[in-house]
A and B are shown apart, each in its own frame.
Chain A
């Protein structure tokens, strides 16, 4: 960066900038020397780790499918309603993003818990959600969907409705317009939002802890297993560290891929 321009920000701002970067990156780097690299493959391949990983991947994948099925229509709605209503709806949609995940967990429990809003009704129907893998999916969907909705809605607003109008005058029915024009136009953001939602679902911990619990093989996802290990239960610390590094690596790769995907599809 050559800050020769007289309008550039003061140079000393580089100091807090670098400090900030350090604060974000240093803890993650500090993980590395603690990992037993020789034993890493064995640690990740251990039964406990594989069980947690497999559960995490399955639940996160299901959560992303739910995010797409519900979140895309929600984004469409948000992008088409009048601005004032959209602002209110957008605030509501963003709420799970900024709330402490534990609060989200309490909230979810008060819906699907035994004494919750739908609890008695679910019990009558013979459906149990709380403390089952379904609760994991529910918690993950709750925290991940905002990422998808915000990304897709922003893109829909940018694209506008003019292409859709043209498609309609060319004879395309509403469903055809959606599938052939609207979705392809927002495809880059849809992909980015999906990937972000998957990453967020994979790392979900707080809400899951309250609404799903921490039963190995049933509701113990990777983050739950890591937490248990540092409380001296479940998988060993070496496994926990290995899983932590794995989550960081997956998230990093995904975040580096997103800009590449967006660039490729920048029409």
Chain B
């Protein structure tokens, strides 16, 4: 990948047994979502970009300016890189207004209070200006923290699971607010999350991080709709299996090159206790049943020992019959050819 003109990160770092070796690029004004499970190195990557952590080697560049080069790290205070985490971390000894005015004031601006009021009003929490942080609800604190981050006038905004600690009512509101804010201000943003929804609503581009490495990076639609690795597929809830798996044959494709992998959605899989068709049908063992949005997700193990991942099948809860559909049972799975696409 060619170096991005905006934020260009290419760093390596070891902490005990964990190794982060990641390269990401974000164009000016673009939102990149970095997806990955817990422990994949997302927060470490953000700490390096923010200048809070020195990598063992590698660089962080913003619009051509070197912010980090190995152990040489420009102080976070001089980077114009804002950071908003899962914990709002409002300064407990300052009022809401003074929290938001903190950034402008340490930069020597005399109109910090006025700026802070404006940001608070914009996010609908102007009436809380005199409160102490401990008097706020989770959603209010998150808004104040966002106002504080933006009042410091960052050029790059790093969001580290900003919605993870919020309850089900507050999260969608803040997600919407975040989406509007980064768009309105054309902020170059790196959003770290383990929630695909965040990426779907906020991101222009998506990078997937696994065990400290970027395994996939591309436009949002590319990565979310057509994942290229089994890991990403599992992450976004799509099945991706090697060609030939379960005797599966995709519908005729335009490209002449033979597919190496096959992709199909869990909802396209039909399960039955007996073999009902001849084509695109294979026998699998049920690993377990788990809840899924609007139904039940059945996780099937691969027919023979292989590297292929588990296959997911979404079934109607009304159709779950525990006389044959239960953990460890052998079932027949079927996917219509038109639902299978080759990669």
User: What are the residues of chain B within 8 A of A9 when measuring CB–CB?
Assistant: none
The stretch among A15-23, A38-46, A161-169 that forms the contact with chain B is A161-169
Q: Does B197 contact A (CB under 8 A)?
A: no
Q: Give B126-179 interface residues, CB cut-off 8 Å to A.
A: 132-134, 148-149, 152, 154
Q: Does A47 contact B (CB under 8 A)?
A: no
Q: Does B81 contact A (CB under 8 A)?
A: yes
Interface size for B (C-beta < 8 A) is: 28
Whether the Cβ atoms of B93 and A173 lie closer than 8 Å is no
The stretch among B100-108, B292-300, B305-313 that forms the contact with chain A is B100-108
Q: How far is the CA of A172 from the CA of B108 in the complex (A)?
A: 10
A195 to chain B, nearest CB (A): 19
Dominant SS among interface residues on chain A: helix
Q: Does A120 contact B (CB under 8 A)?
A: no
Q: How far is the CA of A171 from the CA of B152 in the complex (A)?
A: 7
Q: A168-B52, A169-B50 are in contact. Are A267 and B77 (CB under 8 A)?
A: no
Closest to B89 in A: A166
Whether the Cβ atoms of B89 and A171 lie closer than 8 Å is no
Closest to B93 in A: A184
A261 to chain B, nearest CB (A): 14
User: What are the residues of chain B within 8 A of A184 when measuring CB–CB?
Assistant: 91, 93-94
Q: A169-B76, A170-B103, A267-B134 are in contact. Are A187 and B82 (CB under 8 A)?
A: no
A184 to chain B, nearest CB (A): 4
User: What are the residues of chain B within 8 A of A168 when measuring CB–CB?
Assistant: 51-52, 75-77
Whether the Cβ atoms of B102 and A167 lie closer than 8 Å is yes
Max count, chain B CB within 10 A of own CB: residue among A166, A168, A174, A185: A166
Closest to B79 in A: A169
A105 to chain B, nearest CB (A): 40
Q: A171-B77, A173-B75 are in contact. Are A163 and B89 (CB under 8 A)?
A: yes
Q: How large is the interface on A (under 10, 10 to 19, 20 to 34, 35 or more residues)?
A: 10 to 19
Q: How far is the CA of A195 from the CA of B51 in the complex (A)?
A: 38
- A162: contacting residue among B82, B89, B106, B134, CB under 8 A: B89
User: What are the residues of chain B within 8 A of A170 when measuring CB–CB?
Assistant: 77, 82, 102-103, 106, 148-149, 152
Q: Give A78-127 interface residues, CB cut-off 8 Å to B.
A: none
Q: Does A254 contact B (CB under 8 A)?
A: no
Closest to A265 in B: B93
Max count, chain B CB within 10 A of own CB: residue among A168, A181, A185: A168
Q: Does B192 contact A (CB under 8 A)?
A: no
A188 to chain B, nearest CB (A): 10
Q: Does A180 contact B (CB under 8 A)?
A: yes
Whether the Cβ atoms of B107 and A165 lie closer than 8 Å is no
Per-residue CB proximity of B30-52 to A under 8 Å, as 1/0?
00000000000000000000111
Q: Which 3 A-B pairs have the closest CB atoms?
A: A267-B92, A168-B76, A170-B103
8 contacts between A and B (CB under 8 A): A165-B52, A168-B75, A169-B51, A169-B152, A170-B77, A170-B103, A267-B93, A267-B133
